[in-house]
Amino acid sequence: MSQPVILYPNKPEKVYLFGTCLVDLFYPEAGLAGVDLLEREGIEVIYPQDQTCCGQPAYTSGRSDEARAVAKTQLDLFPEDWPVVVPSGSCAGMMRHQYPKLFEGTEDADRALKLARRVWDLADFLVNVCQIQLTDTGEPTTIALHTSCSSRREMGVADSGPALLRQLNNVTLVEPAKVAECCGFGGSFAVRHADISGAMATDKVAALTQTGCDRFLSTDCGCLMNLAGVAKKQKMALPGEHLLSFLWHRSQPNREA
Amino acid sequence: MPQTLQQSHNSAINFQPQVKSALANTQLRGNFDRAMTGLMHKRTMAFADWDLEALRDLGQAIRQQSLRQLPDLLEQLERQCQANGIQVHWARDGDEACQVVTEICQQRQAKTVIKGKSMVTEEMELNAHLEQRGYTVLESDLGEYIVQMAKETPSHIIMPAIHKNTAEIAELMHTMTGVEQREDAHYLTDQARQQLREKFMQADVGISGVNFAVADSGTLCLVENEGNGRLTTTTPPCHIAVTGIEKVVPSLTDVAPLLSLLTRSATGQSITTYVNMISRPRQPDEKDGPEAVHLVLVDNGRSDIYQDEELAETLQCIRCGACMNHCPVYTRIGGHAYGTTYPGPIGQVLMPQLLGLEQTPDFASASSLCGSCGEVCPVRIPLPSLLLRLRREAVDGDRTRASTVPGHGSKRSNLESLIWAVWRLVHRRPGLYRLTTRLASQLRALSPKRLGGWTRYRSAPKLAKTTLHSAMNNRSKRQQP
Ligand code: SF4
């Protein structure tokens, strides 16, 4: 089947935030920036405190039972019919596209499918549901964006990052060579096949550096951690930041004043 | 140097060390990077004016329909071929197929065999089999010719010698055949052609593969760019076509869309220089062509794969190679590191099913699941989903369960099961999860600086001072005092 057209909902009053475990532990400021951006759009953000992990690590390791057990506890957390926004492409992809497969043929199949349809990538949600308008209050800067493979190929939202960044007048967006190529993260792949993953990540960091950007952004914490980790180990001046943190910081009024 | 890899399939493939040496070989990596980048670009250009997604839908539908009717189509193919005068043979596995070919060669009292490119004969290790029995076997596809000269195996299913650059080929041909060592692709091609021309005339048997076998007309389609395929199938008095049983399609009308997809996906060509349609041996009123044509239909594990509805999608493959051209793993390690006939994503999906998961323990996991292969596959094989399926098979807890995948459950270890049990426990109890993660961030100064393979290339990630859970908790307290 060809890629289906994505049908976006109208802008809601409330949304649920599924923060993801990597944001929770390593990039909470990205989650908070997402909340700030949504609230500024007049949307109330509900953060269910009982959320843990979407189950992806087990799922991609072939451990379906464990993945299903953990995913099942997430199914209970979003009782109202509000959208569930996720600040990470791969976790959004897990919930939107893999949950229906994971629960297929189980008693939770229907619930999983209903939840899946409500799951959105947060950046995409800002663009296509909130139709956000950003005003740049920052100094001129050059930015490279690394779109995760999940955002690009699984979620099909590769356009949302550039759409957001292009609203910022002082931001020059540059594109690295082989922009669509994977950064080599891939969860357990980075550990099981550390040498291949390392080679991919090293190439991606080189491509990003060659753009001459001041920093690179991503919406996926896995990619971010991977690439920032390589850059740091190689002592390269290539800071990385979550797209949402960057957007929030740059679009606050009178930040400099 | 790229190693010679005639894997003995009784022992597990030594993937990790092969990967290490491939990654350390900058020449090899450069060769693959350049070649694959070029091929990706050519493919994009070739489909620029097409509704690619609609064409892929059609390609997928044709292949799925063909597989649904596979048993009937194979019988029809046999009948039609026989009616056309093509002799049809069935082979359960590679050894049986080799035997069939040998017997035909014996009957014809052949000495010299010339071959066109055929991956299924690589799978059967036909060359070694024939050579052991005293036949002279010569590969006529330029890539295969080079690989044979270097005593290697193909590193790519479409471009067997893509791991070598012109300089390496010049040196090889100079050493092996005495031609001038010139880094000039045209010169080298000319030299190879001259050498091969003579051999075609002397060959007793020509062996080729098949791209599509058409059931209702008994036609064997074969695409190629060098004309060697046409010579192989027409010059020697006997032609043996060898194919996997999955290559059958219902009728000639199905071939056109598949051809459009195949050549564009493979090399970015609208059409190959030669498209051979073989339907019968030479007729009394014809001046050329072989007096005998044989078709060998090889199963070799395919009908087992066919039993599993999901994994049967593997058999949709039309062997275009696009999945490897676009694979960031293949591009970096090259085809030889896999140590199997089929490398890259399709190899990672197919080989564990043919050889078993014990023999290919690293295949399903050697992917970041980036999705590039699935995105380009002209017949929409969901390669990432199939890799996931094989990962599930590998750690399957019930080894007595009937499965079409040999060696299912072989990667399940007690230690890993324990780790996943703990992971599951923590992530199913929100209170416990919050406690553990809060503790972890409070003790972040103690977090390890070295994390196995991760920190070989990266600094260890740093936990944040507070978790998002805590931050959101504080925030809601502030907002609702
Ligand atoms: S799996 Fe798809 S992309 Fe790969 S060789 Fe087969 S047809 Fe081509």
For B219-229, letters b (16+ CB in 10 Å) and e give bbbbbbebebb
Whose CA is closest to atom 2 on ligand 1?
A: B377
Give B-chain residues touching A66 at CB under 8 angstroms. 420-421, 423-424
B3 within some domain: no
Q: How far apart are CA B29 and CA B35, in angstroms?
A: 10
Identify which of B265, B313, B315, B330 to mutate to test ligand 1's pocket (most ligand atoms within 8 A of the CB).
B265
Looking at residue B397, its pLDDT comes to 84
Asked, for residue B293, whether it belongs to a domain, the answer is yes
Would you state the structure tokens that stand for residue A126, as one six-digit string? Answer: 């800002």
Residue A1, pLDDT above cutoff 70 = no
pLDDT digits (tens, 9 = 90+) for A78-97: 999 999 999 999 999 999 99
Residues B289, B425 share a domain? no
Tell me which of B320, B329, B350, B387 to substitute to probe ligand 1's pocket, judged by most ligand atoms within 8 Å of the beta carbon.
Answer: B320
Asked if pLDDT for residue A242 goes beyond 90, the answer is yes
Question: In this complex, do B372 and A65 lie within 8 Å of one another by their Cβ atoms?
Answer: no
Q: Spell out where B197-265 has E strands.
A: 205-208, 212-214, 219-224, 238-244, 248-249
CATH number at residue B236: 3.40.50.10420
Q: Is the pLDDT of residue B1 over 60?
A: no
| pLDDT for the residue numbered B197 | 87
Q: Cβ contact (<8 Å) for A226 and B421?
A: no
- Chain B residues lying within 8 Å of A192, measured CB to CB: 362, 365-366, 453
Chain B residues with beta carbon closer than 8 angstroms to that of A153: 370-372, 374-375
Res B401: pLDDT: 84
CA distance B432 to B304: 45
Using alpha carbons only, what angle is made at residue A150 by residues A199 and A105, rounded to the nearest 5 degrees?
125
For residue B450, what pLDDT is reported?
78
Check if the beta carbon of residue A27 is closer than 8 Å to that of residue A66: no
CB contact under 8 A, A62 and B366: no
| Residue B414: how many other CB atoms lie within 10 Å | 7
Query: pLDDT value at position B11?
Result: 77
Encoded amino acid at B462, one letter: K
Task: Using CB atoms, pick whichever of B54, B430, B471 lies closest to residue A50.
Answer: B430
The alpha carbons of chain A give a radius of gyration, in whole angstroms, of 18
What is the predicted pLDDT for the residue at B10? 58
**B422-428 mean pLDDT:** 96
Backbone phi, psi, residue A217, to 5° = -125, 155
Same domain, yes or no, for B297 and B438?
A: no
Judged by CB atoms closer than 8 Å, whether chains meet at A185 and B368 is answered as yes
Position B369 in a domain: no
Q: Which domains does chain A have, with CATH numbers?
A: 14-128 (no CATH), 141-250 (3.40.50.1860)
Number of domains observed in the structure of chain B? 2
Where in the sequence is the domain holding B82, given as residue range(s)?
53-303
Domain for residue B344, yes or no?
no
Is residue B183 domain-resident?
Answer: yes
pLDDT of residue B449: 79
Average pLDDT, chain A: 95
Residue B452 within a domain: yes
Integer Cα distance of B433 and A16 in angstroms: 19
Model pLDDT, residue A4: 63
Instruction: Please list every residue in chain A whose beta carbon sits closer than 8 Å to the beta carbon of residue B472.
Output: 17, 19, 31-32, 35, 47, 49
Last residue of a domain, one of B234, B269, B303: B303
Answer yes or no: are the C-beta atoms of A130 and A122 closer than 8 Å: no
Of B303, B328, B351, the domain-final residue: B303
pLDDT score recorded for residue A3 = 58
Nearest CB partner across the interface for B468, out of A24, A101, A193? A24
CB of B258 within 8 A of CB of B204?
no
A64-75 helix and A109-116 helix, angle to the nearest 10 degrees: 70
Q: What is the pLDDT of residue B457?
A: 92
Q: Is residue B355 part of a domain?
A: no
| Long-range contacts of B395-398, Cβ-Cβ distance < 8 Å, separation of 24 or more | B395/A61, B395/A62, B395/A63, B397/A65
Residue B345 Cα, gap to closest chain A Cα (Å): 15
Higher pLDDT, B10 or B398: B398
How large is the average pLDDT for residues A26-32? 97
- Would the pLDDT of B6 be above 60? no
Task: Tell whether B44 lies on the interface with A, counting CB pairs under 8 A.
Answer: no
The pLDDT value recorded for residue B147 is 97
pLDDT for B250 equals 98
Amino acid B369 reads: L
Nearest CA in chain B to A75: B428
Confidence at residue B340, expressed as pLDDT on a 0 to 100 scale: 97
Phi/psi at B124 (nearest 5 deg)? -80, -10
- Per residue in A175-186, pLDDT tens? 999 999 999 999
Q: Count Cα atoms within 13 angstroms, Cβ side, for B134.
A: 5
DSSP A11-59: PPSEEEE---HHHHHT-HHHHHHHHHHHHHTT-EEE--TT----SHHHH
Residue nearest to atom 6 of ligand 1 (CA): B317
Distance between CA atoms of A159 and A180, rounded to whole angstroms? 12
Cβ contact, residue pair A198, B455, below 8 Å: no
User: Mean pLDDT of all residues in chain B?
Assistant: 94
Please indicate if any CB of chain A lies within 8 Å of the CB of B422. no
Alpha helices in B235-361 (DSSP H): 252-267, 302-306, 322-325, 328-333, 344-355
Q: Which of B303, B336, B352 is the last residue of a domain?
A: B303
Residue A138, phi then psi, degrees to nearest 5: -100, 170
CB count within 10 Å of CB A197 equals 32
- Pairing assessment for the beta strands B274-278 and B219-224 based on DSSP bridges: antiparallel
pLDDT digits (tens, 9 = 90+) for A194-225: 999 999 999 999 999 999 999 999 999 999 99
Helix, strand and coil in chain B, % to nearest 5: 55, 10, 35
Place of tokens 């999906």: B349
The answer to the question of residue B73 being in a domain is yes
Instruction: Please list every residue in chain A whose beta carbon sits closer than 8 Å to the beta carbon of residue B59.
Output: none
Burial class (CB within 10 angstroms; exposed 0-12, middle 13-18, buried 19+) of A230? buried
pLDDT at position B3 is 38
Quick one: residue B301, left, alpha or beta (phi over 0 = left, psi -120 to 50 = alpha)?
Answer: left
pLDDT digits 0-9 by tens, B244-302: 999 999 999 999 999 999 999 999 999 999 999 999 999 999 988 999 999 999 999 99
B155 & B286 share domain? yes
Measuring from each residue's beta carbon to the nearest atom of ligand 1, which residues come in under 6 Å?
A: B 265, 317-323, 346, 376-379, 381
Q: Which residues of B touch A27 (CB under 8 A)?
A: 464
| Chain A residue with the nearest C-alpha to that of B57 | A1
Interchain pair A181, B372: CB under 8 A? yes
State percent of chain B over pLDDT 70: 98
